Structure 1
Amino acid sequence: MDIDQLRTFDRVVRDGSFTKAAARLNVTQATVSMRIRALEAYIGAQLFIRGRQVQLTDQGLGFLPYCRRMLGVLQEARETLRRAERGRIAVGSLSTMIMPMVSKALLRFQRRHKEIDVIIREGRHNQIATMLHERDVELAVICWPNLDPLLTNVEPLLIIREDAPLVASPALSEKLGLTPSFNDILDKAPRYLHLNWWQVAPTAATSLAQSPLIQVELPTNPGRSLIEAGEGIGFFVRSAIADSLADGRLVEIRPTDLEPLHRDIALVVRKRKALEEGHLLEFANEIATEGRLLGRILKDNLTTE
């Protein structure tokens, strides 16, 4: 029995699915199945009833609290050891916020503190939430409000609202005209790109996703390239396309019958007590300095620090 097997068992219980657990853990479904089989072999009991919905057996229900107790003790031990380490900071961030919020902050911080190791981990919101839950990072940039059931307690230090314009290439924008309606866009745009900016998509984005347009789901950079080539439209948070808007490769589309969209993000810490470590607070303030340039500040708990 090892830590990966215990974490996988706990993750399957939380998600009720081997497939979802695999996605959360960033492993294949086959790996999840292998770990569970190995754990069952070690314990000598079947833990799950496999089917369309995965359910715990009576033995699995009995084992669950002990599993979580072991994981909790290991997490506490890791956190204690990390506190004992000097000169190490671990930060998680949404992939799209590394450049606009974290990179310049990191450069300034490390120029002053060359002796400190700074670990930056990136991912989607649920991946960063898992990192916070498992104490792999102390500080993080995540979507807000946090709806991840795994992460029930975090302290927001800074909450920012960034607008998310609908954009197209100049050529496609010209075809749409200055004041296109939603139907004009449906008639003339070749495809709509899904980009996962939100935990729950706003109504306007959902409406486009339900339209007759051809739809493609892509990461940010390939999606931006496709739209710059005139092959579609999509909502982007402004920081992800600022350069393309500035040099004219992309143009904002303002539909007359769609409300402007935005995305809220937050700089969070698992527990505010962690900021008593001076270097973590200093780095948080550096990230916040960049964050304040991105959009409207909804909450700022670092200004008096």
Structure 2
Amino acid sequence: MDIEQLRTFDRVARDGSFTKAAARLNVTQATVSMRIQALENDIGAQLFNRGRQVRLTDQGLSFLPYCRRMLGVLQEARETLRRAERGRVAVGSLSTMIMPLISGPLVRYQKRHPDMDVVIREGRHNQISAMLHERDVDLAVMCWPNLDPLLTSAEPLLIIREDAPLVAAPELAREFGPKPTLARVLEKAPRFLTLNWWQIAPHRAISAAQAAGSRVELPTDPGRNLALSGHGVGFFVRSTVSDALSSGELVEIDVSDIEPLYRDIALVVQSLTALDQPALLEFAGEIASEGRKLGRVLRDSLSGLTPTV
């Protein structure tokens, strides 16, 4: 049994596919198959049922937490050695929160600690969850509550509730009239923009998408561009459109028959013991300071804990 076999087993278990695991690990599918077969021979049990879908056997399900524990211990050891050699902080964040939440703290922190290595990684919620689980990052900015079953432990340091107003370009908004119903907005709008801010979309957002005559699902930046050009209307998390709302390039639509939508995000660590590292605690404090400006604070465990610099 070796570390590559364990990594490969964990990857196949996550992806449910030898082919996808091979792509993620940057090896051939034959190599993945060989590693899994060797691991099964070493432990004397079949770990996967092969077929059109690859599924864990009962033995595989039993072995999986031990495999991840071994990988976690190895990663912790490597991180300890790396930090001893040179200070390092790694942060994973939702793509939409990099600019409003991470950029400012990063600039301030690097000015004070120019020799500190800081790694910023972005992605969707499930990607950030995997980074934290695999200890690729020390801090994570993710949706809350965490519903990803692979991340069994996550300690929220700060939870923020940010509203998600329905927005459109001014010329399009005028066609809706004052306090329009959602039905009128959907009737007049060229298309409804589905941006998937949530892990599980609220029923109101799903209903709006289903009732729209034309809808498009797309990432934030192209969705924002469509809204700015008057070609669509959608629910945007406020921090992603605050500048356009301030300048008047976009306006909020005060819909009369739908309650406001919001998204909760959290700054989390896998374990509170991570805050024993002064560098990590300081950077977490910088992010929290920025986060308190974005929306309603639902939980704040960092007040008074950040080292004085």
TM-score w.r.t. the length of structure 2 is: 0.87
CA RMSD of aligned residues (A): 2.8
- Residue 205 of structure 1 aligns to a residue whose secondary structure is helix
Task: Please give the alpha-carbon distance, in whole angstroms, between the structure 2 residues aligned to 1:79 and 1:219.
Answer: 33
For structure 1, the residue ranges without an aligned partner over 5 or more in a row are: none
- Residue 210 of structure 1 aligns to a residue whose secondary structure is helix
1:205 Cα deviation from its structure 2 partner: 0.6
Residue 144 of structure 1 is matched in structure 2 by 144
- Residue 234 of structure 1 aligns to a residue whose secondary structure is strand
- Residue 211 of structure 2 aligns to a residue whose secondary structure is coil
Residue 36 of structure 1 is matched in structure 2 by 32
1:44 Cα deviation from its structure 2 partner: 7.2
Residues 208, 65 of structure 1: CA spacing in aligned structure 2 closer, same or farther, 3 A cutoff? Answer: closer
1:52 Cα deviation from its structure 2 partner: 4.9
Residues 72, 295 of structure 1: CA spacing in aligned structure 2 closer, same or farther, 3 A cutoff? Answer: closer
Deviations 1:15-41 (A, max 9, x none): 6x329x94xx79469968455323245
Residues 13, 264 of structure 1: CA spacing in aligned structure 2 closer, same or farther, 3 A cutoff? Answer: same
Range 289-298 or range 1-10, more displaced: 1-10
Residues 255, 3 of structure 1: CA spacing in aligned structure 2 closer, same or farther, 3 A cutoff? Answer: farther
Alignment of 1:252-263 (within 5 A): 252-263=252-263
1:63 Cα deviation from its structure 2 partner: 6.3
Residue 102 of structure 1 is matched in structure 2 by 102
Residue 81 of structure 2 is matched in structure 1 by 81
1:248 Cα deviation from its structure 2 partner: 1.5
What percentage of residue pairs aligned between the two structures are identical?
63
Residue 112 of structure 2 is matched in structure 1 by 112
Native 8 Å contact 2:94 2:128 kept in 1: yes
1:216 Cα deviation from its structure 2 partner: 1.2
Residues 252, 215 of structure 1: CA spacing in aligned structure 2 closer, same or farther, 3 A cutoff? Answer: same
Task: Please give the alpha-carbon distance, in whole angstroms, between the structure 1 residues aligned to 2:65 and 2:278.
Answer: 36
For structure 2, the residue ranges without an aligned partner over 5 or more in a row are: none
Residue 161 of structure 1 is matched in structure 2 by 161
Task: Please give the alpha-carbon distance, in whole angstroms, between the structure 2 residues aligned to 1:68 and 1:12.
Answer: 13
- Residue 267 of structure 2 aligns to a residue whose secondary structure is strand
Deviations 1:41-72 (A, max 9, x none): 54576753334543235775686566445424
Task: Please give the alpha-carbon distance, in whole angstroms, between the structure 1 residues aligned to 2:221 and 2:158.
Answer: 26
Range 187-196 or range 291-300, more displaced: 187-196
Residues 58, 253 of structure 1: CA spacing in aligned structure 2 closer, same or farther, 3 A cutoff? Answer: closer
Residues 288, 197 of structure 1: CA spacing in aligned structure 2 closer, same or farther, 3 A cutoff? Answer: same
Residue 285 of structure 1 is matched in structure 2 by 285
Task: Please give the alpha-carbon distance, in whole angstroms, between the structure 1 residues aligned to 2:24 and 2:85.
Answer: 33
1:5 Cα deviation from its structure 2 partner: 5.3
Residue 18 of structure 1 is matched in structure 2 by 17
Native 8 Å contact 1:192 1:214 kept in 2: yes
The one-letter code sitting in structure 1 at the alignment partner of 2:97 is M
Task: Please give the alpha-carbon distance, in whole angstroms, between the structure 1 residues aligned to 2:151 and 2:57.
Answer: 26
Say how many residue pairs are matched. 301
Task: Please give the alpha-carbon distance, in whole angstroms, between the structure 2 residues aligned to 1:190 and 1:4.
Answer: 51
Residue 231 of structure 2 is matched in structure 1 by 231
